[in-house]
């Protein structure tokens, strides 16, 4: 997927689910519930249990979803993720070797950055977007608003503190999309298998973003 297609996709979707699975079985259920709630842009954290096997199974089972990986730290991680079928890659940091590999494979890469200098460094290195992480530590939407004046040309995806309640404000502050994980999948709900609750939370998120999605389509 070329960067232009990636940018168009995330601008339509506005949110991606971050799945950190404690087991292969639960990971599959988390993804099924995410899809049932209306999200089809899904990141599998590479520190999930059996992450490569989970991703490969999902690519086979859900061809209409766009499935990528996150928490990629090394070239070994990246090559394994690509082999498993990753369609996009998130990293918590800027690594020029990782960016170069994804460019050769035409896979979008979204490196993590926090300061203006880091964000510009990632973008100059040909990142597809920049992950602003951890957004909660620096003021959430207010920080994005401050960044938008000098860096509004850089597509940014905040993660690390995005919630159902503040996701829309992140978009309104200038984020092209948001990444959300733990808030969608409360530990107690996952452990008890309360997938109905989780599905409803995902629907609530997507409903809150619907006006933004609709405005993008007009």
- Confidence at residue 213, expressed as pLDDT on a 0 to 100 scale: 72
- Confidence at residue 212, expressed as pLDDT on a 0 to 100 scale: 76
147-151 LR contacts (CB < 8 Å, sep 24+): 147/116, 147/119, 147/174, 148/173, 148/174, 150/116, 151/116, 151/119, 151/120
Rounded CA-CA distance 6/177 in Å is: 12
- Confidence at residue 216, expressed as pLDDT on a 0 to 100 scale: 62
Phi, psi (rounded to 5 degrees) for 129:
-150, 180
- Confidence at residue 217, expressed as pLDDT on a 0 to 100 scale: 60
Residues 6/29, Cβ–Cβ less than 8 Å: no
SS3 state of residue 40: coil
Could you give all domains of the chain from N- to C-terminal order, each with its CATH number? 3-111+175-217 (3.20.20.70)
Non-local (6+) Cβ contacts of 42 within 8 A are: 16, 17, 19, 31, 34, 35, 58, 65, 66, 67, 68
Rounded CA-CA distance 174/74 in Å is: 30
- Confidence at residue 145, expressed as pLDDT on a 0 to 100 scale: 96
- Name the DSSP class of 64: T
Helix (H) or strand (E) holding 122: helix 116-124
Rounded CA-CA distance 158/73 in Å is: 19
Rounded CA-CA distance 205/53 in Å is: 28
- Confidence at residue 39, expressed as pLDDT on a 0 to 100 scale: 97
Question: pLDDT tens digits, the chain, 218 residues: what are they?
Answer: 999 999 999 999 999 999 999 999 999 999 999 999 999 999 999 999 999 999 999 999 999 999 999 999 999 999 999 999 999 999 999 999 999 999 999 999 999 999 999 999 999 999 999 999 999 999 999 999 999 999 999 999 999 999 999 999 999 999 999 999 999 999 999 999 999 999 999 999 999 998 777 766 65
């Amino acid at each position: 997927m070329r960067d232009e297609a990636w940018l168009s996709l995330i601008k339509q979707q506005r949110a991606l689910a971050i799945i950190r699975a404690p087991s292969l079985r639960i990971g599959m259920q988390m993804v099924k519930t995410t899809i049932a709630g209306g999200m089809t842009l899904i990141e599998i954290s590479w520190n999930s249990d059996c992450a490569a096997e989970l991703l490969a199974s999902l690519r086979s089972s859900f061809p209409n979803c766009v499935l990528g990986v996150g928490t990629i730290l090394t070239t070994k991680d990246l090559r394994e993720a690509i082999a498993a079928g990753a369609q996009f890659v998130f990293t918590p940091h800027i690594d020029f070797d990782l960016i170069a590999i994804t460019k050769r494979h035409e896979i979008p890469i979204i490196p993590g950055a926090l300061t203006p200098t880091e964000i510009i460094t990632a973008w100059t290195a040909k990142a597809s977007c920049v992950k602003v992480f951890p957004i909660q530590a620096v003021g959430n939407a207010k920080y994005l608003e401050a960044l938008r004046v000098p860096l509004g040309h850089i597509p940014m995806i905040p993660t690390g503190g995005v919630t159902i309640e503040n996701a829309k404000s992140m978009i309104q502050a200038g984020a092209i999309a948001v990444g959300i994980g733990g808030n969608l999948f409360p530990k107690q709900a996952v452990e008890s298998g309360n997938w109905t609750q989780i599905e409803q939370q995902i629907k609530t998120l997507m409903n809150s973003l619907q006006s933004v999605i609709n405005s993008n389509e007009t």
